[in-house]
């Protein structure tokens, strides 16, 4: 399978890095396009094919990921549409806010023919094969969805969802990674106040978060089950948790997630 990534910004670039590291694809089977040569320099070093011509990139891939800002969607789709082989290629939109109906409208051929299509929402951790990626089949058979799922399973985790769930998915994983990092920052600052150097505090917090995730994944348990194991009666942990709740910790997280949902 050959893939093309149109747009080498933060997300497009992270996807290219993740695909290369996944081992599922040879670097030479990946083509990435961007308007400026300087943007593409780092991808050349990975052995990826690069071009400043979106049409060249679009023609090269069996799967073409369009990873541009939503206000550029129509311009880019119109640019590449003439070179798309509707019988052979799959188009995957990685453009927040572009609905399946809009995607169909932009890609419909004169005879109403549509290519295989997906909406795909990874997060920036795809660069290190730790993304949580959501896949919405738009005009795709079961085997197409299976192949797309396998690609993203190799770059972290993936979930096939309905389009109506995209807003919540974006809040939990795409925005959510920033929320998790804000916790790391806050806890690290607390660590400094407790007497650790900033870098040491961050290292402690990151390893602690990793440990929490590893425990939940290994045991398949509910977070409260693991919390109960370390909250002894009258102990320090329950005091700390209760203080956080008094300050609205859970409520703040839920409110932040709801605020981060796309309309």
Q: Does residue 252 sit in the same domain as residue 219? A: yes
User: Taking a C-beta distance cutoff of 8 angstroms, is the pair 36, 7 a contact?
Assistant: no
Closest by alpha carbon to 114, among 126, 104, 124?
104
Q: Does residue 44 sit in the same domain as residue 117? A: yes
| Within a domain: 254 | yes
Q: Which residue range is the domain that position 68 belongs to? A: 3-164
> Along the 263 residues of the chain, how does pLDDT read in single tens digits?
999 999 999 999 999 999 999 999 999 999 999 999 999 999 999 999 999 999 999 999 999 999 999 999 999 999 999 999 999 999 999 998 899 999 999 999 878 889 999 999 999 999 999 999 999 999 999 999 999 999 999 999 999 999 999 999 999 999 999 999 999 999 999 999 999 999 999 999 999 999 999 999 999 999 999 999 999 999 999 999 999 999 999 999 999 999 988 55
Q: What is the CATH number of the domain that holds 152?
A: 3.40.50.720
Q: Does residue 252 sit in the same domain as residue 122? A: no
Which of 164, 192, 219 lies at the terminal end of a domain, its last residue?
164
Closest by alpha carbon to 137, among 162, 106, 172?
162
Q: Does residue 149 sit in the same domain as residue 220? A: no
Q: Are strands 3-6 and 30-33 parallel, antiparallel or unpaired?
A: parallel
Tokens of 17: 């890095």
CA atoms within 13 A on the CB side of 65: 29
What Cα–Cα distance (Å) separates residue 30 from each residue in 110, 185, 250?
A: 30, 35, 42
Residue with tokens 């008094």: 246
Q: Does residue 67 sit in the same domain as residue 42? A: yes
**Residue 247 is inside which H or E element, if any?**
none
pLDDT confidence of residue 158: 96
Q: Does residue 18 sit in the same domain as residue 94? A: yes
Q: Does residue 127 sit in the same domain as residue 210? A: no
How far apart, in whole angstroms, are the C-alpha atoms of residue 172 and residue 17? Answer: 23
pLDDT confidence of residue 79: 96
| Within a domain: 171 | no
Closest by alpha carbon to 207, among 187, 189, 221?
187
Can you state the angle between helices 249-259 and 236-246, rounded to 10 degrees?
Answer: 50
User: Taking a C-beta distance cutoff of 8 angstroms, is the pair 86, 139 a contact?
Assistant: no
**Residue 256 is inside which H or E element, if any?**
helix 249-259
- Around Cβ 146, how many Cβ atoms within 10 Å? 12
Tokens of 66: 């369009």
For 152, the 3-state DSSP assignment is helix
Query: What domain count does the chain have?
Result: 2
Which of 164, 186, 207 lies at the terminal end of a domain, its last residue?
164
DSSP single-letter state for residue 36: -
User: Taking a C-beta distance cutoff of 8 angstroms, is the pair 90, 115 a contact?
Assistant: yes
Q: Does residue 126 sit in the same domain as residue 243? A: no
| Within a domain: 181 | yes
Q: Does residue 181 sit in the same domain as residue 152? A: no
Q: What is the CATH number of the domain that holds 211?
A: 1.10.3730.10
| Within a domain: 101 | yes
| Within a domain: 169 | no
| Within a domain: 251 | yes
Q: Does residue 86 sit in the same domain as residue 25? A: yes
Q: Does residue 33 sit in the same domain as residue 152? A: yes
| Within a domain: 170 | no
Q: Does residue 240 sit in the same domain as residue 110? A: no
How far apart, in whole angstroms, are the C-alpha atoms of residue 6 and residue 31? Answer: 8
The region, left, alpha or beta by phi > 0 then psi within -120 to 50, assigned to residue 26 is: beta
For 84, the 3-state DSSP assignment is coil
User: Taking a C-beta distance cutoff of 8 angstroms, is the pair 226, 136 a contact?
Assistant: no
pTM comes to 0.91
| Within a domain: 225 | yes
């Amino acid at each position: 399978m050959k893939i093309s990534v149109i747009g080498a910004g933060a997300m497009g670039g992270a996807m290219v890095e993740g695909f290369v590291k996944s081992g599922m694809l040879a670097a030479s089977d990946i083509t990435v396009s961007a308007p400026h040569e300087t943007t593409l320099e780092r991808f050349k070093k990975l052995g990826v094919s690069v071009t400043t011509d979106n049409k060249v990139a679009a023609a090269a891939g069996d799967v073409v990921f369009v990873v541009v800002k939503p206000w550029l969607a129509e311009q880019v789709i119109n640019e590449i549409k003439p070179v798309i082989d509707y019988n052979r290629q799959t188009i995957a939109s990685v453009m927040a806010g572009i609905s399946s109906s809009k995607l169909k409208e932009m890609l419909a051929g004169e005879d109403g023919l549509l290519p295989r299509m997906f909406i795909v929402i990874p997060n920036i951790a795809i660069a290190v094969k730790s993304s949580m990626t959501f896949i919405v089949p738009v005009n795709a058979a079961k085997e197409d969805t299976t192949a797309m799922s396998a690609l993203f399973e190799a770059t972290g985790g993936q979930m096939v969802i309905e389009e109506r769930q995209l807003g919540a998915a974006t809040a939990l994983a795409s925005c959510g990674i920033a929320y998790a990092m804000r916790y790391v920052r806050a806890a690290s600052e607390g660590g400094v106040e407790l007497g650790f150097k900033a870098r040491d505090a961050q290292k402690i917090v990151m390893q602690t978060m990793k440990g929490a995730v590893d425990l939940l994944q290994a045991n398949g348990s509910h977070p409260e089950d693991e919390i109960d194991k370390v909250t002894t009666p009258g102990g320090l942990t329950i005091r700390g948790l209760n203080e956080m709740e008094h300050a609205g910790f859970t409520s703040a997280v839920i409110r932040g997630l709801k605020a981060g949902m796309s309309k």
